[in-house]
Structure 1
Amino acid sequence: MGNKGIFSRRRFFKALGFSAGSAAFVVGPLAKAGAAPGTGGSSLSGSGLAGSSALGSANTPSLAGSASFTPSNIGSSETGWVMGHKGTGPNGAFLAGDLQVVTVTEDSVTISWLTWDAKVSIAERPVGMPTEGTLLVWPEDNPQDTKVVRSEKNTFFHIMTIEGLKPETKYRFSASSHGIEANATHNYFQEKKKEFTTLPRLSGEVLQTVVVANDVHMGEAQDGLWFDGFPPPAVPNPKSAPYPEVCLDAVIKTAEDCGATHLFVNGDVTSEARPAEVRRAKEMLDTFSGTWRVTRGNHDRPHKADDSSGYETASPYGKEHFDPFGDVFEPRQQAWMMDLEPAGVRVIGIDSTELDKSGGRIEPQQFRQIEGFLRRDPNKPTVLMLHHPMTREAGWSNAAGPAFILRDPDLIRLQKMIQAAPGVKLVLAGHTHRAHRDKPDVDTHAVFLETPAAKNWPTGATQLRFYSDGIAVNFRHNMGEEALDWASRTRWTNFGLAPEILLGPTDARNLVVRY
């Protein structure tokens, strides 16, 4: 995301809750807990400062009782709301909320929800309440064909997958804890329906799988800052590993588990491209058993020397800057191309960074490189990656405005190159940390996506499965005890509205791109 100091009136109003689909429009101290308008009997509780961090999922053991995770501050927002349906379990009263349809494929669905202590004071921050979890899924036209999965242990972070579904079929679902349905709080108007439709099945077998992550921010110590301590950030459990390492490790595990041959990190590999951050990122990427490659994000740009970061130990870049990132990863403003076999797909990585700015640009010599790559075989299926979003819609719909994305002349020029190369089917960007499908300004054959960050809500990476006739695109949530603990903390950034701003609609994270 952006550098310190990036702020806008649009982002401020979003932080106050004036955003589309918001389930709670007020942030701040509450006089007392009560029913939320339009939630059908939902209850509210204030967020809090201290809390236990019992974690788990259908496939992840609970952290309750773990010696390494003591009661700790899991919230990270100004005083705000916890909203959900109220119930009672063996540990007391809880609120079941934060319902999300995380991943939908042609034959599976992953759904998550969280349960919070209903008795938290409004002067405190949210406390997870471990509960039982049950997920039921059935075809809309055949309720008798119901599939069920239950949590292995009580946990407050429920994330469950049901497989064996039929392609292009509408399903309904029930996600509950101790018989209490979890409330939709983020994609409210979409997820309150408690339904989803599985993706089409592409032809034949999967030819190849890759994973694309972005916005790891290796070396970062606090998440959710816009500038100099504001708003209150998420901070990790002091007994946990640094959260960028936790998140990158989870991404690598996802890539290994799904059989990915390649792992790409599409920018903001580091927090500020300090030499130690660059080295640590490479050390971790080298643990991946396949092939990895990165693009450069604004946080990875060359920096000026300072007293503590060690930039001057790296190669100089121009008269005032040093480039540790370029020494280890990729030279600045240089594109690269990689062929994926047996998928028969080409991946092109682009450096869209400016010096000393959060916005993006592509310099003339790199445009010539990109044009040369595309002209070699304009009809070859191609995935293009750059850190900065590259449509005007992305500029006006992101909270920081058009200056935050690729500059206008460059985005139009690049879109015209894509138009002239009909093999370009998918364009991936990070930077905004959100899931969003962008409308191009030039008529092309490509799908333009902004993909969620590895390091903050919802936390994860994007899986691409290549078939003979297209690409299945699916978001994959970071898993593991520490990863889910960290995700629960980032849920309260942006005054508790991080999920509303960043999660995005299901079909911006799960879709099929046909050749």
Structure 2
Amino acid sequence: MPACDFTRRDLLRWTAYAAAAAGSATLLDPAGALAATGTAGSGVVTPVNLELVTLAEDRAVITWYTGHAGTDDGLGRMVPAAADGEVRYGTNPNRLNRVAHDITGHTPYHYVELHDLEPGQTYYYQARSNGKLAAPTAFTLITGNAVGTTNRGLGTTGPFEFKTPQPPQGSHVFSMVLCNDLHMGETQAGLVGGQPQYIGITQEPGLPPYPEVMLESLVQDVKRFDPRYLLAAGDISAEAVPTDLSRAGQLLSRFGRYQEDYFVTRGNHDRAHLGDAYSTCRVGQWQGNDCFHDAYFPRTERTYFSRDLSGLHVIGLDTYDKPGNGGDAGGLSPDQLDWFRSDLRKHRDQPTLVFGHHPLVMQDSAFPITAGSSLDATQAGQILDWYSQTPGVFLHHAGHTHRNHRTISPTAPRVTLQEVAAAKEYPGGFSILRLHTHGYALNFYKSRGALAREWSERSRQEILGYWPQFAFGNTVADRNTVVKRDLTGLKRH
């Protein structure tokens, strides 16, 4: 959920937005497939929710969903229908002469990868299942485009258009995984203040807990990119229960060694809590008992840190280093702020990546932006000023909003402020950061395990089905970008 926790005032603003858009049938049912009182049954297999997820210089990932027309699974979508899946594409919209097929056989949850694309080339494509063309995810609350880098084909079934970027300049040094919002222990997604109009989405009976499904798939999926490090920017758990924190660590350890290969920071859900479930953990600095501190920063370790990783300076922030109930703005303690400023000064010219749970700023939302959506505004302004004086900082990775979004602040224009969508729900994935000697590329991927694709599509129905307009990223550039930057100080692996 955006900002994860809400006040009642925030909730009323959300409700007003949803009500204002409730008349749009194209959002919940882009193909016009659902009857007003549809029930489970068989109907014409219909492909919908087409999305261009990943776009790199040599590849693209395209996903969609197939269901039985005229049915309703109880969540406002068609009942899943297994079908074939293919993408036809080419450099001429009238000659789509190349074909790529689904990574699995017949399925409702289609995932097609296009390989061997040429950098800087314009391509056109259409996706189909069961002989029918797929309709794209529609944007009705905010201007957006889920299927291309131009508006060609929007409102139709294509062909759609995209242009591949040029690769990062220089030679590849190493890659990293950026992820966040694992929410281990969560059992319902999409709850907003317990309001009945926002139905919590639960896992299908008999399947493993969805946070475990999504994290297991993530850790497995990233291996094909041969990343050197993994950074998980907060909300490791749903409510900082020791067993959930431990389970997250077990799954992350399949990637590598903690504090050598993977690193975590605290989110507001990982804050210290009160109650019997937390009684064996250390007394929190601000409140309750701090099980996150015990699990990931034992003994006298601080909950924020910096490391030099293969020549890259990485700073991990604790953006809930403060008292609170989790629903307010994030914040750094005075001690952490002093440490952070000093660390930036010491590494002024070294290539530096900062990651932490709350974004510094939040812009361009389909839904109301509240104080709890980001870091304390005064602190965020201070940090951006520091970035403007620190040439080495090039990327600030955050979670918390559960969306893909790229922001460039005029205060620190050399720094990309990148929000990455939650690992635990739609669109359900991670970003791969590819570092080159003279630039970097950042690409978002949906987790592609069979159960992960199933849960991702199920959880897209959050917030009455409007969730994709917030979480996916309203442009391709919000989830895929290439930046020129001098990174010659990094060390190859």
TM bin, normalised by shorter chain, reads 0.7 to 0.9
Within the candidate set 340, 343, 351, 1:381 is matched to 351
Q: Name the CA shift for 1:159/1:212 in 2 (closer, same or farther; >3 Å).
A: same
Structure 1 equivalent of residue 489 of structure 2: none
Equivalence map 1:95-174=2 (5 Å) = 95-120=46-71, 125=76, 126-140=78-92, 143=95, 146-150=98-102, 152-174=104-126
| Matches of 1:112 and 1:480, distance apart in 2 | 13
Moved more, 283-292 or 183-192: 183-192
- Contact in 2 for aligned 1:270/1:281 (Cα 8 Å): yes
Query: What is the rounded CA distance, in whole Å, between the counterparts of 2:439 and 2:43 in structure 1?
Result: 49
Q: What corresponds to 1:251 in structure 2?
A: 218
Q: Structure 2: how far apart are the matches of 1:247 and 1:418? A: 34
Give the corresponding residue for 1:176: 128
AA in 1 matched with 2:411 = V
Q: Residue 215 and residue 122 in structure 1: after superposition, are their counterparts in 2 closer, same or farther (change >3 A)?
A: closer
Structure 1 residue 101 displacement after superposition: 0.2
Whole-Å separation in 2 of the counterparts to 1:48 and 1:482: 28
Structure 2 residue 478 is matched with structure 1 residue 508? yes
Cα offset, 1:150, TM superposition? 5.0
Are 1:222 and 2:225 counterparts?
no
Q: Secondary structure at the match of 1:43?
A: coil
**1:399 maps to what in 2?**
368
Letter in 2 for 1:377: H
Which amino acid in the other structure matches residue 182 of structure 2? V
> What percent identity do the matched residue pairs reach?
28
Q: Is the 8 A contact 1:453 1:459 kept in 2?
A: yes
Distance in 1, Cα, partners of 2:208 & 2:129: 30
Query: Paired residue for 2:175?
Result: 209
Report deviation, 1:318. 4.0
Q: What's 2:409 paired with?
A: 440
Number of equivalent positions: 457
The alignment status of 1:235 with 2:238, answered yes or no, reads: no
Residue of structure 1 equivalent to 2:254 = 287
The answer to whether the 8 A contact 2:93-2:125 is kept is: no
Structure 1 residues 292-301 or 435-444, which shifts more? Answer: 435-444
**Residue 44 (structure 1) aligned to one of 33, 58, 66:** 33
- How far 1:195 sits from its partner (Å)? 1.3
CA distance 1:23–1:410, change in 2 (3 Å): same
- The reply to whether residue 479 of structure 1 matches residue 448 of structure 2 is yes
The aligned amino acid for 1:96 is P
Cα pair 2:27 2:139 within 8 Å, conserved? no
| Conserved 8 A contact 2:314-2:353 | yes
Residues 139-194 of structure 1 show CA distances to partners (whole Å, capped at 9, x for unaligned) of: 24894763433565221111100100011222111101122111112358623441
Structure 2 counterpart of 1:324, which letter? Answer: C
Q: 1:138/1:16 Cα in 2 relative to 1: closer, same or farther (>3 Å)?
A: farther
Cα 1:333–1:45, aligned 2, differ >3 Å: closer, same or farther?
farther
- 1:197 equivalent to 2:163? Answer yes
Match among 404, 421, 428 for residue 397 of structure 2: 428
Sort the Cα spacing of 1:141 and 1:124 in 2 relative to 1 into closer, same or farther, 3 A. Answer: closer
SS where residue 245 of structure 1 aligns? helix
Tell me by how many angstroms 1:441 deviates: 5.2
2:45 to 66, 86, 94: 94
| Mapping 1:272-283, distance limit 5 Å | 272-283=239-250
Residue of structure 1 equivalent to 2:360? 390
- Counterpart for residue 325 of structure 1: 292
**Cα pair 2:102 2:111 within 8 Å, conserved:** no
CA distance in 2, matches of 1:45, 1:97: 12
State the AA in 2 paired with 1:222: Q
CA distance in structure 2 between the partners assigned to 1:460 and 1:449 by the alignment: 14
> CA offsets per residue over residues 488-512 of structure 1, 9 Å max, x none?
2101111111111211121100111
Q: Output one character per residue of 1:243-291: Cα deviation in whole Å (capped at 9) or x when no partner.
A: 1111111111122221111111101000010111111111222222351
SS at match of 1:212: strand
Which piece of structure 1 moves more, 460-469 or 148-157? 148-157
Change (3 A) 1:5 1:391: closer
Counterpart check, 1:357 vs 2:326:
yes
Q: Does 1:499 pair with 2:442?
A: no
Kept in 2, the 8 Å contact 1:425–1:513? The answer is no
SS at match of 1:512: strand
Q: Over the residues paired in the alignment, what is the CA RMSD in angstroms? A: 2.7
C-alpha separation in 2, matches of 1:473 and 1:122: 36
Q: What is the CA–CA distance in structure 1 between the aligned matches of 2:192 and 2:107, rounded to whole Å?
A: 32
Report if the CA contact (8 A) 2:284-2:290 is conserved: yes
How far off is 1:350 after superposition?
A: 0.7
Which amino acid is the alignment partner of residue 253 of structure 2?
D
**Deviation of the 1:349 alpha carbon:** 1.0
- Note if 1:461 corresponds to 2:430: yes
Distance 1:465 1:280, change over 3 A: same
CA distance in 1, matches of 2:114, 2:350: 35
Please name the residue that 2:15 is paired with: 12
Q: Which deviates more, 479-488 or 450-459?
A: 479-488
Structure 1 equivalent of residue 138 of structure 2:
186
TM-score, normalised relative to structure 1: 0.82
Distance 1:275 1:339 in 2: 29
Alpha-carbon distance in 2 for matches of 1:12, 1:258: 41
How does the TM-score come out when normalised to structure 2?
0.85
Partners of 2:74 and 2:220 lie apart in 1 by: 38
Alignment-mate amino acid for residue 423 of structure 1: G
**1:465-504 C-alpha deviation (Å, 9 max, x unpaired):** 1110111100011111211121121011111111112111
AA aligned to 2:177 is V
CA contact (8 A) 1:218 1:244 kept: yes
* Residue identity matched to 2:439: G
Give yes or no for contact 1:108–1:162 (8 Å, CA) kept in 2. Answer: yes
Structure 1 residue 403, shift from structure 2 partner: 3.4
Aligned equivalent of 1:82:
none
Deviation at 1:320, TM superposition (A): 4.3
Aligned equivalents of 1:441 and 1:44: distance in 2? 45
The one-letter code of the counterpart of 1:235 is: T
Listed one character per residue, the Cα deviations across residues 285-316 of structure 1 (whole Å, up to 9, x for unaligned) are 22223511101100001112x24xx2111000
Measured in 1, the distance between the counterparts of 2:394 and 2:480 equals 15
In the alignment, which residue of structure 1 is the partner of 2:5? 3
- Contact 1:213–1:251 under 8 Å retained in 2: no
The 1:313–1:509 alpha-carbon spacing in structure 2 relative to 1, beyond 3 Å, is same
Cα 1:122–1:111, aligned 2, differ >3 Å: closer, same or farther? closer
CA displacement at 1:99 relative to structure 2: 0.6
In 2 relative to 1, CA 140–401 (structure 1 residues): closer, same or farther, beyond 3 Å?
Answer: farther
Instruction: Name the CA distance, whole Å, in 1 between partners of 2:91 and 2:46.
Output: 28
More deviation in 136-145 or 99-108? 136-145
Deviation at 1:453, TM superposition (A): 0.4
Query: Do the aligned residues in 2 keep the contact of 1:335 with 1:370 (CA within 8 Å)?
Result: no
Distance 2:278 2:36 in 1: 40
